[in-house]
Amino acid sequence: RKEVEQDPGPFNVPEGATVAFNCTYSNSASQSFFWYRQDCRKEPKLLMSVYSSGNEDGRFTAQLNRASQYISLLIRDSKLSDSATYLCVATPLNTGGFKTIFGAGTRLFVKA
């Protein structure tokens, strides 16, 4: 079983749609969680952190459920520019440092 698992998609949605991505992590000692966005042929970039209380940034909402070891990302009012791959990240408590585990990513295509 992979340490961080995501539905690979692709998700094909029309502009204006709401889309949700899910991610599960296997290490219950994971300390911090993130969503990164990766555009085609580019490097991953931080989209948002995922706090225990959940957090919202404009059209994006991230939730964490520690009991179920589950992270979600909700995108409202999808834009064409949201088309990208979304990577879920967990950082397990690891002696000596911050080993980050990336999921394989979920591809999103937003069409006009």
**Smallest distance from the beta carbon of 65 to another protein, in angstroms?**
18
Interatomic CA distance for residues 37 and 15, integer angstroms: 18
Out of 32, 40, 84, 111, the only residue in the binding site for another protein (CB under 8 A) is 32
How far from 24 is each of 37, 71, 76, CA to CA, in Å?
17, 6, 21
- Number of chain positions touching another protein (CB under 8 A): 22
Q: Please, which residues have CB within 8 angstroms of residue 53's CB and are 6 or more apart in sequence? A: none
By CB under 8 A, is residue 91 in contact with another protein?
yes
Residues that bind another protein (CB under 8 A): 31-32, 34, 42-46, 49, 87, 91, 94, 96-105
